[in-house]
């Protein structure tokens, strides 16, 4: 879980992890010099969590650091302002257990407008999506060995770039119907706010196409 000045919402994210009714869950939070007390909230709610420091290199670099520090056989990536659905880990893990040849499973995402958004800011937000199939870091549960086959996230890139590498590496990806992630819409959202310019995604797609062209795989 990357964290940077997310005290307003990180408590809900942590509580949604603690509420998962599966075996041992290893929570790793990578904090980028927060000044609002977010790491303290994490430690208070989850004394067993690992809280690491990062140098504000971005969420992808923070996730890489979290993976390096983790020990689990499965990985998923939760943003500090999102919330796991009840049973999120269980339904994804069950699908992987049913078919050992599957490398990663994705559930559905449902968006909601954060309760702390002012009426004026709410008018600027787009309408939340209902339950939607989505290949996101937060909807994915992946076997650790499969993640290692693909490699780390590009610190400058988007999840879509890593996902393209996963497809090119031949990973078997499956989707399930249950909602596994509730994604928060708010005026400071890193990925969905005004700062999420289309150029970022265009740049990621260009990187994917350039790599595939160099590898002779422009047909995907």
Domain residue spans in the chain? 2-214
State residue 165's pLDDT score: 97
Count of CB atoms within 10 A of residue 43's CB? 14
Burial label for 202, CB within 10 Å (0-12, 13-18, 19+), is exposed
Count of CB atoms within 10 A of residue 35's CB? 8
What is the pTM (predicted TM-score) of this model? 0.85
State residue 61's pLDDT score: 94
State residue 32's pLDDT score: 94
Which helix H or strand E contains 80, and what residues bound it? none
Tokens at 151, concatenated: 């490699």
Residues shown for the chain: 220
DSSP state of 56: S
Concatenating the DSSP letter of every residue in 88-154 gives HHHHHHHHHHH-TT--EEEEEEEEEE-TT--HHHHHHSPPPP-SEE---TTTEEEEHHHHHHH-PPP
- 27, 17 contact by CB (below 8 A): yes
pLDDT-flagged residues of the chain (< 70): 189-220
State residue 144's pLDDT score: 98
Domain 2-214: CATH architecture, name and number where available: Alpha-Beta Complex (3.90)
């Amino acid at each position: 879980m990357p964290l940077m000045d997310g005290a307003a919402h990180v408590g809900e994210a942590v509580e949604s992890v603690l509420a998962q009714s599966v075996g041992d869950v290893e929570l790793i939070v990578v904090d980028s010099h927060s000044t609002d007390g977010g790491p303290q909230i994490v430690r208070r709610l989850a004394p067993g969590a690992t809280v690491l420091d990062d140098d504000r290199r971005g969420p992808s670099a923070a996730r890489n650091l979290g993976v390096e520090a983790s020990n689990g056989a499965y990985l998923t990536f939760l943003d500090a302002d999102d919330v796991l659905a009840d049973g999120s880990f269980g339904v994804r893990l069950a699908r992987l257990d049913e078919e050992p040849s599957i490398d990663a499973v994705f559930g559905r995402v449902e968006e909601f407008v954060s309760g702390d958004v002012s009426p004026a800011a709410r008018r600027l937000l787009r309408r939340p999506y209902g339950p939607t199939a989505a290949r996101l870091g937060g909807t994915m549960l992946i076997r650790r060995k499969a993640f290692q086959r693909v490699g780390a996230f590009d610190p400058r890139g988007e999840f879509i770039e890593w996902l393209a590498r996963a497809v090119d590496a031949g990973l078997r990806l499956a989707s399930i119907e249950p909602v596994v992630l509730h994604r928060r819409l708010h005026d400071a959202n890193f990925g969905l706010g005004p700062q999420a310019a289309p150029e970022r995604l265009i740049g990621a797609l260009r990187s994917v196409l350039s790599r595939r062209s160099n590898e002779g795989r422009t047909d995907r």
